[in-house]
Amino acid sequence: MDDSLNRRDWLRTLGASGLAAGLGAWHAGHAAAQESGFQSSVIDQHEVQPNRACPSLTDGKVIQPRRELPVVHQTDVLVVGGGPAGVCAAIAARRAGVDVTLVERYGHFGGLWSGGLVLVILGHIVKGGKQVCQGIGEEMMRRLDKLDGAIIDRRPGANPTVDAEAVKYLMVEMIEEVQAKVFLHCWGVDAIVNGNTVHGAVFESKSGRQAILAKTVVDATGDGDLFAAAGAEYERRSHNIGLVSRIGNLDRVDRARAEGSPKPRNLGGRTPVPGVNWVNMHGPEVDGLDVETLTRLELNHRKFIWKNMQKVRRTPGYEKVYLMETAPQLGVRITRVLNGLQRVTLDDLKAATTFADVIGVGGASNGQHGEWQIPYGALVPEKTDNLLAAGRCISAEIRMADLVRLIPNCFVTGHAAGVAAAVAVADGCRPRDVDVKKVQRVLQEQEAYLG
Ligand SMILES: Cc1cc2nc3c(=O)[nH]c(=O)nc-3n(C[C@H](O)[C@H](O)[C@H](O)COP(=O)(O)OP(=O)(O)OC[C@H]3O[C@@H](n4cnc5c(N)ncnc54)[C@H](O)[C@@H]3O)c2cc1C
């Protein structure tokens, strides 16, 4: 096929006139030198990377020298991590009226929900089928439903299932609506700390190592990367690490041929895309902070999933079923968990303890428990100031890990952390000194359920 034709068609599809207009100013003054129809320019012929301070090898040790970092941005609330908790936190804080900056290491939002292909929303209800995940999480479910990007069935045992691309799209839409400042492709690698007080974070990206200053930081990295860097105490845990995948053509199984042979095991659950299932995986219990372990698991899980699919395809009738994709993100369930002022406990769940500082109510995967309240103190580090945790890394005892980490419960704690951070900024106080009644009022104005 004629390549230039392809490109013209492609540009037309993208709305090329707008793209070309946007790039016009850039190309003025840069000599383009391509005959192919693509464009490329030399920006600087003799550039040396600015602000270098390479580590040196001294007496067999690698030594990192001191250096000043460029401050690329200042903000009221800095949310690190754009998963279910981080996106809710960013939206909530903006709606509460403060400046918000959201930083994410990958090129999309949604965390494990989209990048990890964890497509089933469990834990939005409690015993009796009452839905306790309201507020921004519920708004997301309704909007996904309207986009035709989810099967939203809230009855016990029939949990909402989403399409990962719809989640990614919706999150862009919602973040742009509230006009939060965003940095993608930025990995939070350090906290900026004086004593116990956090003043922002340091990021690595293709632009180098840069700093963002903030009045309050929300750690929504799932792994507590920021509170760990800031020196807060945490519990380090291992958990099962799997790799989720999607398989296609299940609507093309030849039922007549398949009859008589045993149905292949673990074909997963349906998604909003016809003929496409998502396949969960438990995986071994290991340390999700150990990079060699993560590397080994990625390699092994990919081989296992591929080989397993070949077995499925050898089953009569299932020849057309295929592996659509393995999740781009490994399924790390739990690693660091904050030691907070308070802790979510199973005894409190069983006793249905109520807290004066409740900031949300958690649900259970199939509504097997009653309502359990989440106290604000579970988001606040024992000693570190100007930082809150949200999502799967909040303070909770190990027996609660598998409830706390469910997506709706991460929506709830993200929502609360965003509001609390905004109230702290507006009132000029530390998150630990925040007026919790005010936080609760704003949460209720934003349609959160507090029991
Ligand atoms: C295999 C598997 C199956 C699961 N099944 C279900 C299920 O069926 N139903 C359910 O409700 N839940 C399920 N869960 C749990 C749920 O998916 C997660 O607990 C939930 O997504 C956690 O949300 P979060 O926002 O706290 O963290 P994450 O979803 O992990 O999001 C964290 C975000 O922060 C970003 N980030 C991390 N570190 C940095 C950094 N240093 N700098 C910048 N950005 C960073 C990540 O890229 C990500 O976008 C499952 C989890 C796994 C792994």
CA nearest to 88, candidates 411, 391, 367 = 411
To the question of pTM greater than 0.85 for the whole model, the response is yes
The 3-state DSSP composition of the chain as helix, strand, coil percent (nearest 5) reads 35, 25, 40
- Cα–ligand 1 centroid distance for 389 (angstroms): 14
- Tens of pLDDT along the chain (451 residues)? 344 445 455 445 555 444 444 444 555 555 556 778 899 999 999 999 877 889 999 999 999 999 999 999 999 999 999 999 999 999 999 999 999 999 999 999 999 999 999 999 999 999 999 999 999 999 999 999 999 999 988 777 778 999 999 999 999 999 999 999 999 999 999 999 999 999 999 999 999 999 999 999 999 999 999 999 999 999 999 999 999 999 999 999 999 999 988 999 999 999 999 999 999 999 999 999 999 999 999 999 999 999 999 999 999 999 999 999 999 999 999 999 999 999 999 999 999 999 999 999 999 988 889 999 999 999 999 999 999 999 999 999 999 999 999 999 999 999 999 999 999 999 999 999 999 999 999 999 999 999 9
- Cα–ligand 1 centroid distance for 85 (angstroms): 8
Radius of gyration over every alpha carbon of the chain, rounded to an integer in angstroms: 24
Rounded Cα distance, 117 and 124, in Å: 18
Asked if residue 103 has its Cβ within 6 Å of ligand 1, the reply is yes
Ligand 1 atom showing the smallest separation from residue 109 Cα = 49
From 118, 330, 333, 366, give the residue whose CB has the most ligand 1 atoms within 8 Å, as the site to mutate: 118
Q: How many CB atoms lie within 10 A of CB 128?
A: 9
Please tell me the residue having the least CA distance from ligand 1 atom 27: 222
Locate 386 and state its tokens. 């100007």
Using an 8 Å Cβ cutoff, are 92 and 422 in contact?
Answer: yes
Residues 6 or more apart from 400 whose CB is under 8 A from it? 344, 345, 346, 349
Please tell me the residue having the least CA distance from ligand 1 atom 12: 406
- Cα–ligand 1 centroid distance for 116 (angstroms): 7
At 257 the pLDDT is 94
- Cα–ligand 1 centroid distance for 113 (angstroms): 6
- From residue 317, alpha-carbon distances to 247, 268, 279, 321 in Å are 15, 17, 19, 9
Ligand 1 atom showing the smallest separation from residue 115 Cα = 49
* Cα of 147 vs its chain's centroid, Å: 20
At 16 the pLDDT is 45
From 122, 405, 409, 411, give the residue whose CB has the most ligand 1 atoms within 8 Å, as the site to mutate: 405
Please tell me the residue having the least CA distance from ligand 1 atom 41: 188
At 159 the pLDDT is 86
- Cα–ligand 1 centroid distance for 351 (angstroms): 28
Please tell me the residue having the least CA distance from ligand 1 atom 20: 407
- Cα–ligand 1 centroid distance for 1 (angstroms): 42
Rounded Cα distance, 354 and 179, in Å: 35
At 5 the pLDDT is 46
Using an 8 Å Cβ cutoff, are 252 and 287 in contact?
Answer: no
Using an 8 Å Cβ cutoff, are 271 and 121 in contact?
Answer: no
Locate 61 and state its tokens. 């040790």
From 79, 108, 112, 387, give the residue whose CB has the most ligand 1 atoms within 8 Å, as the site to mutate: 112
At 413 the pLDDT is 98
Locate 30 and state its tokens. 């840069």
Asked if residue 288 has its Cβ within 6 Å of ligand 1, the reply is no
Asked if residue 386 has its Cβ within 6 Å of ligand 1, the reply is no
- Cα–ligand 1 centroid distance for 15 (angstroms): 34
- Cα–ligand 1 centroid distance for 112 (angstroms): 4
Asked if residue 333 has its Cβ within 6 Å of ligand 1, the reply is yes
Asked if residue 331 has its Cβ within 6 Å of ligand 1, the reply is yes
